[in-house]
Structure 1
Amino acid sequence: MDTYIDLKDVRVTGYVSQGLIALVAVASVWGTAVDWRGGSSSWSFLAIVLLVPAAVAFILWFRNATHNAEAIALHGVRMMGEIWKASDPGQRDVPFEERVASPLIKPWQYAFLAMVLCDVLESLLLDTPVYVVFSTLSTLCAVAAAGLACFLILRVTLMQLRFAVPQRKRR
């Protein structure tokens, strides 16, 4: 018998989130490359302007993905690791507590936190020689966090789609 669960569509918010997250990373790279020595507030402003809609799109995706994960696993789901565990069709027969989340979730969270910390330090040290160090570190962390976030959003979206669309059993 096929499994079909009426889930919210997370594709649009997932793709929008990925696109905006990628744009934030590109703005960070471009700002660092163009303004290597100085400290231009215009690039920081652009990154912040892009970060706000990226955060809103991600929150909408996360909310729908959480709803779907709870419907799939029939278990309280609140964090990204739990969403992964609930959404992974390969672990469907494993008890929820024994399921394994993606090992990329923690590096994504740490890269994001490091990016925010480096951004704060970069802003505080705008007219000092150390600015370049934190600007570069912030950019590297932004690229790592964006890449990991886009991968995780895509994988969870694709895993949840396997539950949302009726699948024919292969013989």
Structure 2
Amino acid sequence: MDTYIDLRDVRLTGYVSQGLIALVAAESVWGTVNDWQGGSSSWSFLAIVLILPAAVAFVLWFRNATHNAEAIALHGVRMVSQVWKASDPEQRDVPFDQRVASPLIKPWQYAFLAMVLGDVLESLLLDTPVYLVFSTLSTVCAVAAAGLGCFVIWRISTMQQRFAVPQRKRR
């Protein structure tokens, strides 16, 4: 007998989210390099503007991934760590409360918050000597957050895809 769970396809929104997140990080790097060369600080501002479409794409992906995680685990799922726990096929036989989420989720969230804080401070300190310091710190956090975020999105999407494909039960 085959096991099949009707899940929403999270691949497209996941790819779009990853692409926009990578674009935000790349633009942040470009803006900081431009800042260090004495260019216009408007490049760094563009990274802040690009966060909005990336956030919308991520929310759409997360909404569908949360729906899938609830269907897989039959458990209330609201946070990324819970989506990971519910989506991990290797932990399927472990009680939900004892499942382990990726240790990369917290560093991703902290890097993202540090990036946003750095962007805010960078914008407030425009045309001051410490502007370049916060621009650089924000960029480092943006690259870290983008890398970790893209990995988490990719991994959860991949794990959920295993449940969406009909598989034979092993005897």
TM bracket (short chain):
over 0.9
Cα deviation, residue 39, structure 1: 7.2
SS at match of 1:35: helix
Could you say which residue in structure 2 is the equivalent of 1:97?
97
Partner amino acid, structure 1, of 2:18: Q
Counterpart CA distance in 2 for 1:17 and 1:138 is 20
The verdict on how the C-alpha distance between 1:21 and 1:156 changes in structure 2, with shifts beyond 3 A counting, is: same
Kindly state the Cα deviation for residue 141 of structure 1 after the two structures are TM-superposed.
Answer: 0.0
Offset of residue 142 of structure 1: 0.1
* Alignment partners' CA distance in 1, 2:101 and 2:40: 40
Deviation at 1:15, TM superposition (A): 0.1
Task: Give yes or no for contact 1:87–1:159 (8 Å, CA) kept in 2.
Answer: yes
Which ranges in structure 1 are unaligned for 5 or more consecutive residues? none
One-letter amino acid of the counterpart of residue 8, structure 2 = K
Take 1:144 and 1:121, find their aligned partners in 2: how far apart are those partners? 18
Q: Is the 8 A contact 2:10 2:157 kept in 1?
A: yes
CA distance in 2, matches of 1:49, 1:134: 17
Cα contact 1:39–1:131 (8 A) shared by 2: no
1:158 maps to what in 2?
158
Aligned residues: 171
What are the superposed Cα offsets for residues 53-109 of structure 1, whole Å, 9 maximum, x if unpaired? 111000000000000000000000000000000000000000000000000000000
State the match for 1:122 in structure 2: 122
Q: How far 1:126 sits from its partner (Å)?
A: 1.1
Considering only aligned residues, what root-mean-square deviation do their CA atoms show, in Å? 1.5
Q: How far apart are residue 45 of structure 1 and its match?
A: 3.5
Which of 161-170 and 37-46 deviates more? Answer: 37-46
Structure 1 residues 108-119: aligned runs within 5 Å:
108-119=108-119
- d(CA) in 1 for partners of 2:124 and 2:36? 16
Output the CA distance in 2 between the equivalents of 1:94 and 1:156: 18
Are 2:84 and 2:102, in contact at CA under 8 Å, matched by a contact in 1?
A: yes
- Give 1:1-171 correspondences, 5 Å limit: 1-36=1-36, 38=38, 40-168=40-168
Q: CA deviation at 1:44?
A: 3.1
Q: Offset at 1:35? A: 1.6
Task: Please list the CA deviations of residues 23-68 of structure 1 after superposition, one character each: whole Å capped at 9, or x if unmatched.
Answer: 0000000000012165734213321332111110000000000000
* Cα distance between partner residues in 2 of 1:48 and 1:119: 7
Separation in 1, partners of 2:170, 2:96: 26
Is the Cα contact below 8 Å between 1:39 and 1:126 reproduced in 2?
no
Identical aligned residues as a percent: 84
**SS at 1:5 equivalent:** coil
Unaligned runs of 5+ in 2: none
